[in-house]
Structure 1
Amino acid sequence: MARILGLTDAERDLVTMAVTDAEKTTDGEIVTVVARRSDSYADAALHWAVLAMLAVAAVAAAFPVLLETLAYPTGDNWGTAPSLARLIFALLIAMIVAFLAVRYALEYRPLRLALTPHATRVRRVRRRALEVFHLGTEARTKGRVGVLLYLSLDERRAEIVADEAIHAQVADEEWGKAMATLLEHVRAGKPGEGMAAAVAAIGVVLARHLPKTTDDSNELPDRVIEL
């Protein structure tokens, strides 16, 4: 079966059914979103490239003989010291080469992501989840009972963001089981099963705090949204 953003057709159906089943026991509305990644992390690549450039300058300062070798790579200086202008030119060329080499090496996304600090990835996933929540879930239900389950595949991070009525009743710690279940499946290469299991756990929490009432209607889509 063809995969789109890490989910197969069967996995998308599995998540959709999980949402439908979970909402049978609660007035809460569950929205599921899967993204390939939450950021390009282009700034991380730039930071590493600048660091490489500065490292070249530091090495040149610590070992001047290397800079002299760069100034006269063919050894044709006949024992004379290179001019300051030639040394500066050689240093600039070496720094530019280092910058470009690292910058283009980090065009390879898995490497760029691996070299991005963990804390940065956590913040970017959280920020993206909040953006998606504000655009598609927040205040979109009559009772403000929407909850977003957001999964970012490349970072292997997930976020649960709740609307006003849910946030007022459910402590953040209560989502722990859903998050742990989801991430365990994602690490095992089963994001669809993880999403479905997490939705079921979210449904249990919502049913406890916002049980189903007779006049409840389905206000948000059950299908998984892929970005």
Structure 2
Amino acid sequence: MKESFVDKIEEAVKEIEAGSSAEIVVSVRQSSASYRELDLLWSLIFALGVLAYKIWSPYYFHPDWILINVLFCALFGFLLSSKIAPMRRVFLTSGRRESETTKTAQSEFVRLGVSRTSGRTGLLILVSRLERKLVMIPDQALDHQIVPTLWEEWHRKFGTASSDEELLSGLMELLQSLRGPLSRQLPRTDNDVNELPDRPVQVAE
């Protein structure tokens, strides 16, 4: 992610916290799981594809080279899938995307200390780029101050994207949408202290 865009996210978080006692943490990850089984699936597809070609091709192939070719193509398929996100998305179901991003968001909520603010007003926003998912996990006080229908509306509007560009622009729109409700429901106090980092945390999977 470009530094200029990271700066924009940080500035948007600072603007929210300037008028609210909420503590926003944005975690941006390349993916929420390793998905090695998807790479292995592509490896199998490549291997079976070349094996089928060797068997039914009208051309003659020396038997000694068939196994080598199959193994090479299997390795090639594995490496290709591990580097090219659209290949993984072919077999990545919506249910799997939802479950993996939710688990990762819950883990990040604890790892990044969002649950340790003095007023329990933390909010984790996870952006998972492979899955093109955005997940919010609010702490207790913040969750109780915002009506459930508003959380549902934000999830419906920004939770899933069809492209990386839409995902990141949706993040910026979400941050803008949070300003008003958070400043009204959790106004900043005179003794408010910034307890969590404003700059997005980037994790490469």
CA distance in 2: counterparts of 1:21 and 1:105, whole angstroms = 41
| C-alpha displacement of 1:97 | 8.3
Task: Indicate the SS of the match to 1:32.
Answer: strand
State the AA in 2 paired with 1:145: T
Structure 2 residue 171 is matched with structure 1 residue 195:
yes
Task: Indicate the SS of the match to 2:126.
Answer: strand
Task: Indicate the SS of the match to 2:24.
Answer: strand
User: Counterpart in 2 of 1:220?
Assistant: 196
CA distance in 1: counterparts of 2:125 and 2:110, whole angstroms = 13
Cα gap change, 1:216 to 1:109, in 2 (>3 Å): same
Q: 2:23, 2:123 within 8 Å by CA — same for their partners in 1?
A: yes
Which stretch shifts more, 145-154 or 111-120? 111-120
Q: 1:146, 1:166 within 8 Å by CA — same for their partners in 2?
A: yes
User: Counterpart in 2 of 1:15?
Assistant: 9
CA distance in 2: counterparts of 1:47 and 1:188, whole angstroms = 24
Q: 1:14, 1:193 within 8 Å by CA — same for their partners in 2?
A: no
Deviations 1:32-71 (A, max 9, x none): 121122222102233555688899xxx9xxxxxx98x89x
For residues 78-157 of structure 1, what are the structure 2 equivalents within 5 Å? 102-118=77-93, 119-157=95-133
Task: Indicate the SS of the match to 2:165.
Answer: coil
Structure 2 residue 32 is matched with structure 1 residue 38:
yes
Deviations 1:74-113 (A, max 9, x none): 8xxxxxxxxxxxxxxxxx9999788667545534432442
User: Counterpart in 1 of 2:139?
Assistant: 163
Deviations 1:128-160 (A, max 9, x none): 111111111332210111001111122211100
CA distance in 2: counterparts of 1:113 and 1:128, whole angstroms = 18
CA distance in 1: counterparts of 2:7 and 2:154, whole angstroms = 19
Deviations 1:5-58 (A, max 9, x none): x3342x122111111111122211111121122222102233555688899xxx
| C-alpha displacement of 1:182 | 7.4
Cα gap change, 1:110 to 1:193, in 2 (>3 Å): closer
Q: 1:14, 1:192 within 8 Å by CA — same for their partners in 2?
A: no
| C-alpha displacement of 1:116 | 2.9
User: Counterpart in 2 of 1:204?
Assistant: 180
Q: Which has the larger radius of gyration?
A: 1
CA distance in 2: counterparts of 1:212 and 1:104, whole angstroms = 50
CA distance in 1: counterparts of 2:163 and 2:70, whole angstroms = 39
| C-alpha displacement of 1:204 | 2.4
CA distance in 2: counterparts of 1:107 and 1:31, whole angstroms = 28
Q: 2:43, 2:77 within 8 Å by CA — same for their partners in 1?
A: yes
Q: 1:52, 1:98 within 8 Å by CA — same for their partners in 2?
A: yes
Q: TM-score, normalised by structure 2?
A: 0.73
1:26 corresponds, among 6, 12, 20, to 20
| C-alpha displacement of 1:193 | 4.2
- How many residues in Structure 1 have an aligned counterpart in Structure 2? 200
Which 5+ residue runs of structure 2 have no aligned equivalent?
Answer: 62-66
**Identity value in percent:** 24
User: Counterpart in 1 of 2:64?
Assistant: none
Which stretch shifts more, 104-113 or 30-39? 104-113
2:150 corresponds, among 153, 163, 174, to 174
